[in-house]
């Protein structure tokens, strides 16, 4: 039981770390180099960058919907406008907003389904 109490801080810390990682991915100017070998690989990165914090927040079993609202409704489009207007070497792409929203929606659905699944009773 003590292990559970002492590990209670792990998931909230993971949420914050994933949010910081998301900010780094979105706002650090891209380094020059070869393009990705997979076409549209940046869309996969966008989906994962927005899905990971929502998944981690959902695991806290607390009120995680505000994160969905802020990440999906506000941060996804605003991040692309900031990239386009303020970061040299970066451009805003409406398809990135769609990828961001797919990540948020997919993570939200996954968390909702996870906590609605029937649980086995221990005998």
Domains of the chain, residue spans: 2-29+38-116
Q: Specify whether the CB–CB gap between 40 and 89 falls below 8 A.
A: no
Instruction: Check: CB of residue 25 under 8 Å from CB of residue 43.
Output: no
pLDDT tens, residue order, the chain (123 aa): 455 555 567 777 888 898 898 888 888 877 555 667 777 788 998 999 999 998 888 887 777 788 788 877 788 999 999 988 988 877 888 999 999 999 999 998 998 888 776 666 555
The pLDDT assigned to 111 comes to 87
pLDDT at residue 10 in the model:
73
The pLDDT of residue 52 is: 92
Q: Are 84 and 91 in contact (CB under 8 A)?
A: yes
For residues 67 and 50, the answer to whether their CB atoms sit within 8 Å is no
Closest CA to 71 of 97, 95, 43, 42: 97
CA 13 to chain centre: 14
């Amino acid at each position: 039981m003590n292990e559970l109490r002492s590990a209670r801080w792990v998931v909230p810390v993971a949420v914050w770390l994933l949010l910081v990682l998301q900010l780094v991915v979105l706002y650090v100017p891209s380094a020059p180099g070869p393009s990705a070998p997979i076409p549209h690989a940046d869309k996969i990165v966008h989906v994962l960058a927005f899905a990971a914090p929502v998944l981690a927040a959902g695991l806290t079993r607390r009120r995680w919907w505000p994160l969905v609202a802020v990440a999906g409704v506000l941060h996804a489009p605003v991040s692309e406008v900031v990239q386009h207007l303020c970061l040299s070497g970066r451009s805003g792409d409406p398809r990135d907003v769609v990828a961001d929203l797919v990540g948020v929606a997919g993570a939200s659905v996954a968390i909702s389904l996870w906590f609605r699944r029937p649980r086995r009773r221990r005998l």
